[in-house]
Structure 1
Amino acid sequence: MTIAITCGEPAGIGPEIAVKAFSALRGELPVLWIGDPRHLPNGTDFVVVDDPTGPIPTDRFPVLAQNYGPAPRPGVADPALAHGVIAAIETGSQLALRGVIDGICTAPIHKAALVKGAGFPYPGHTEFLAALGGVDQVVMMLACDALRVVPVTIHIAITDVPRRLTPELLAQTLRITHAGLQRDFGLAEPRIAVAGLNPHAGEEGLMGHEEIDMIRPVLDELRGEGLNLIGPLPADTMFHAGARRGYDVAVCMYHDQALIPIKTLDFAGGVNVTLGLPFIRTSPDHGTAFDIAGKGMADPSSMIAALRMAAQMAAARKV
């Protein structure tokens, strides 16, 4: 089994945590880094892999080499590198679609540099990967040992959430989450807890009507399809240890409702998973960390967790 690591933003911590993760996982999980070897930390003992369909070396850091042009300055995003960053994601996705590798783990990108340097038309990694995979909708899940969460709406203003939170979006998110937990995590009947939008899940209409008018009807419809759904639940009582034992994933209505609890429980070890793709994709749950890039300080814990989770998901798909 081999998981490819796409380079991400070369001026960030992506290359450093990839090398550190390789060292930590040496002998446990073969990886293949896709990027420009000139962007690796000084002194990295790497070997160029000419044919990714053949055996992948495990004694030295294996690199599927690409030429991005200029060398990066740690901590300073260079739009001139944008086409290379995008090409690495495309290469990894194509290898995964062809079955040459078992999944991809994407290092963080810097979207502003991609837009400026290459006119990148996507809001982020997830939407680009959906396009590469030929699917209309995917779901972002954040996962650690203690919790899995899915936000229905993601990077939008709080004032826009009620308008964007449609029955169609909620139903599709729940269906993709259900199918993803079955296919990628081996859960035959996943238990899905669903948060309300309002405090106390609206308290029977005293604090909002979205639960009555929209969320409950969607849950009732999908229960008829066989989904095991719990809720809508008050979000403030969903995440203590006892409550978490009652479900496999929490589906939340907006970004912070989902991400605050998981980042509180495991800030360093959270993994970003894309459900609904035709290939496995995970990512560390952090950004480029320009402030510490090139200083040897980056913590590879989330990258290690993301690689391990990609391998576990790939194994579940093969069962």
Structure 2
Amino acid sequence: MTIAPLALSAGDPAGIGPEIIAKAWTALRWEGPPFMVVGDARSLAAAGSGVRVRTVTGPAEAMDLFPTALPVLDVPLLSPVIAGQASSTHAAQIIRCIETGAGLALSGSVSGLVTAPIAKAPLYEAGFAFPGHTEFLAELTAGAPCEGLRGPVMMLAAGNLRATLVTIHKALNDVSAALSVEAIVTAGMVTHQALKRDFGIAHPRLALAALNPHAGEGGALGREEIEIIEPAARVLRDLGVEVMGPAPADTLFHAEARARYDAVLCMYHDQALIPVKMLDFWGGVNVSLGLPIVRTSPDHGTGFDIAGRGLARADSLIAAIRMAAQIAARRAA
């Protein structure tokens, strides 16, 4: 099935984004999936180790050009880029790239959006009011029709592990207060629907991770399992979702356990991120579920410490591009 190219927002130009984008294009230029970068053409050309960069006016031109040059919808920066040095002077253009990519995806001009890494601190200095990409994209797409329950729910995928988050960017001290039956049920239903629609799993099996050690030890080590997570599991089962748990998190991620479910709902950020990165540190993908657009990203940050040195690996970005194209094709079908 031929679908529109993907849009790829360039992320922070002082990080490894330009380098891994160039490497991803080199790896995918002949086999695809094709993509169009939304970003500063000059910084992409400077980071590309001889990669030919061509500015384009839109996705149709990018599709034809993709095998021969990296197509860029140019969003020029207003000040020079110093590799490894984040600057709030680039914030407006970084935000504009994300907004443009989301708008193209909402219009159907592109089949989905892949986002290169951003650094939050320089964006906050410029007045950015969102914890991260996921929450910002939820706001940008809030008025658009969305099939099924609306997210966002963050999923991390690596190998045969898919882990979704009930809470996302919360301090560990605030996680318990942020948990509720409603939040877990919503995350579970969004995950259930996405596994069917976006991943082609006819009868999804979910696992619920406990919050506390030993799943709370009958209340001796915490009552969240008794008062929140177990009731949420019952509601999900009543809604027709196959659910196991809550189970102690230390028994959920080995190979035999992963064979028993299609996705695991984790209660907080590192409960999901640590096993995903242990399983495939270089190739993990971040997927936003429950949005009206397809959105993926590499599962790593801006890499300021190695930016501009030619050391960054593009594995995760390549995996994110391929996964976005696969999800887009399933939705189109």
**Is the aligned partner of 1:128 residue 2:128?**
no
Alignment of 1:239-318 (within 5 A): 239-318=253-332
Task: Report the TM-score when normalising by structure 2.
Answer: 0.92
Code of the aligned partner of 1:81 = H
| Alpha-carbon distance, 1:114 to partner | 1.4
Match of 1:30 among 29, 34, 37: 34
RMSD of aligned residue pairs (Cα, Å): 1.3
Q: Which is worse superposed, 308-317 or 197-206?
A: 197-206
CA contact (8 A) 2:131 2:169 kept: no
Q: Which residue of 1 aligns with 2:53?
A: 46
- C-alpha separation in 2, matches of 1:21 and 1:149: 25
| Alpha-carbon distance, 1:180 to partner | 1.5
- C-alpha separation in 1, matches of 2:212 and 2:227: 13
Code of the aligned partner of 1:115 = Y
| Alpha-carbon distance, 1:133 to partner | 0.9
- C-alpha separation in 2, matches of 1:160 and 1:217: 21
- C-alpha separation in 2, matches of 1:310 and 1:11: 25
Code of the aligned partner of 1:278 = P
- C-alpha separation in 2, matches of 1:64 and 1:310: 19
- C-alpha separation in 2, matches of 1:171 and 1:34: 36
Residue aligned with 1:292, SS:
coil
CA contact (8 A) 1:143 1:273 kept: yes
**Is the aligned partner of 1:61 residue 2:70?**
yes
Task: Report the TM-score when normalising by structure 1.
Answer: 0.96
CA contact (8 A) 1:195 1:250 kept: yes
Percent identical among aligned pairs is 52
- For each residue in 1:232-290, what CA deviation from the matched residue of structure 2 results, as whole angstroms up to 9, or x when unmatched? 11111111101100100111111111111111110000001100110100000110000
- For each residue in 1:198-247, what CA deviation from the matched residue of structure 2 results, as whole angstroms up to 9, or x when unmatched? 11112222322211111111111111111111111111111110110010
Gaps of 5+ in 1: none
| Alpha-carbon distance, 1:313 to partner | 0.7
CA contact (8 A) 1:38 1:71 kept: no
Aligned pair count reads: 318
- C-alpha separation in 2, matches of 1:55 and 1:80: 28
- C-alpha separation in 2, matches of 1:220 and 1:16: 47
| Alpha-carbon distance, 1:64 to partner | 0.8
CA contact (8 A) 2:205 2:261 kept: yes
Match of 1:7 among 10, 22, 32: 10
Code of the aligned partner of 1:317 = R
| Alpha-carbon distance, 1:36 to partner | 0.9
Match of 1:206 among 209, 215, 220: 220
- C-alpha separation in 1, matches of 2:91 and 2:332: 34
| Alpha-carbon distance, 1:115 to partner | 2.0
- C-alpha separation in 1, matches of 2:207 and 2:99: 34
Q: Which residue of 1 aligns with 2:182?
A: 168
Code of the aligned partner of 2:79 = P
CA contact (8 A) 2:198 2:331 kept: yes
- C-alpha separation in 1, matches of 2:264 and 2:57: 43
Code of the aligned partner of 1:15 = P
CA contact (8 A) 2:206 2:261 kept: yes
| Alpha-carbon distance, 1:137 to partner | 3.7
Gaps of 5+ in 2: 144-149
- For each residue in 1:128-185, what CA deviation from the matched residue of structure 2 results, as whole angstroms up to 9, or x when unmatched? 1001111774101100123111121222222211111111211111111111112211
CA contact (8 A) 2:151 2:289 kept: no
Q: Which runs of 4+ in 1 moved over 6 A?
A: none
**Is the aligned partner of 1:111 residue 2:123?**
no
| Alpha-carbon distance, 1:189 to partner | 1.7
Q: Which is worse superposed, 54-63 or 90-99?
A: 54-63
- C-alpha separation in 2, matches of 1:283 and 1:114: 18
| Alpha-carbon distance, 1:54 to partner | 4.1
Residue aligned with 1:290, SS:
coil
**Is the aligned partner of 1:79 residue 2:88?**
yes
